[in-house]
């Protein structure tokens, strides 16, 4: 028997996909990030940093807007927000999974960068990525955090992202069959949470739906799975 690294369910030996959550169970690591050439890693954003950006005092959440697709990913700054690509066989689950943004071909590492708040100031740190992290065209030295402002542009490998810092946190209660997820603080409304999770479920992406619920609420795995199962 083998154990699913995502939901911990036991599966028969040589099973490719978990019968409970659909996680790919292959032990082969075929998701390694290839180094990109110098020409491919040129700065893709604006030539000059944005001026007169509105200040954000002690922001509580961050929104990452994908410049190519327009998708938005939101993270709660009460804890560090890791950016990368999910890799269940190796137990890698970043809070913001950029796989859907063609992260592998754009040079995003599985563990690429982290965003966190220190004494009210939002910081970004490259955590040893293969293809590097840049802010407004300035490449970061690995493991040396830099300040991140509202309106900055962040580039992971070739993936360009616009940064929004948000000051207030919405409160919403999301009911589940078990009732364990009530009255939790979330960075989005209950309606937005349900919409984003249902959208993933409608595309057959239950794993991503659970991850999205955890990302937007701070719930543990069981609470997120209960919420997803209730929809």
Please, which pLDDT band fits residue 5 given cuts at 50, 70 and 90? low
pLDDT at 183: 37
Q: Do the beta carbons of residue 125 and residue 107 sit within 8 Å?
A: no
Contact 176, 230 (CB under 8 A): yes
Residues 108-112, mean pLDDT to the nearest whole number: 93
pLDDT of 174 > 60? The answer is no
Alpha-carbon dihedral sign for residues 138, 39, 126, 185: positive
Q: Say whether pTM exceeds 0.75.
A: no
Residue at token pair 């509105």: 54
Predicted local distance difference test score (pLDDT) of residue 28: 42
For the segment 9-18, what is each residue's pLDDT rounded down to a tens digit?
Answer: 787 877 766 7
Lowest mean pLDDT among 42-56, 88-102, 204-218: 42-56
Q: Please name which of 13, 35, 42, 41 lies closest in space to residue 25, comparing C-alpha atoms.
A: 13
Would you state the pLDDT for residue 173?
38
Mean pLDDT within 127-137: 92
pLDDT value at residue 68: 87
Note the pLDDT of residue 81. 94
**Average pLDDT for residues 37-55, to the nearest whole number?**
60
Angle subtended at Cα 223 by Cα 221 and Cα 96, rounded to the nearest 5 degrees:
50
pLDDT given at position 23: 61
């Amino acid at each position: 028997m083998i154990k699913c690294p995502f939901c911990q369910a036991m599966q028969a030996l040589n099973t490719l996909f978990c019968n409970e959550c659909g996680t790919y169970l292959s032990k082969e690591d075929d998701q390694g990030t290839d180094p990109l050439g110098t020409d491919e890693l040129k700065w893709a954003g604006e030539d000059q940093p944005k001026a007169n950006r509105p200040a954000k005092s002690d922001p509580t959440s961050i929104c990452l807007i994908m410049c190519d697709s327009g998708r938005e990913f939101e993270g709660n700054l009460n804890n560090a927000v890791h950016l990368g690509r999910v890799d269940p066989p190796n137990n890698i689950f970043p809070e913001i999974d950029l796989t859907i943004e063609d992260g592998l071909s754009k040079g995003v590492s599985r563990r690429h960068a982290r965003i966190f708040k220190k004494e009210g100031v939002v910081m970004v740190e490259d955590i040893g990525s293969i293809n590097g992290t840049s802010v407004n065209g300035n490449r970061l030295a690995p493991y040396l955090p830099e300040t991140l402002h509202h309106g900055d542009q962040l580039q992971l490998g070739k993936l360009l992202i616009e940064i929004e810092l948000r000051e207030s946190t919405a409160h919403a209660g999301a009911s589940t069959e078990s009732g364990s997820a009530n009255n939790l603080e979330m960075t989005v409304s209950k309606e937005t949470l349900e919409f984003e999770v249902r959208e993933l479920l409608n595309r057959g992406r239950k794993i991503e739906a659970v991850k999205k619920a955890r990302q937007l609420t701070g719930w543990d795995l069981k609470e997120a799975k209960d919420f997803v199962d209730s929809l």
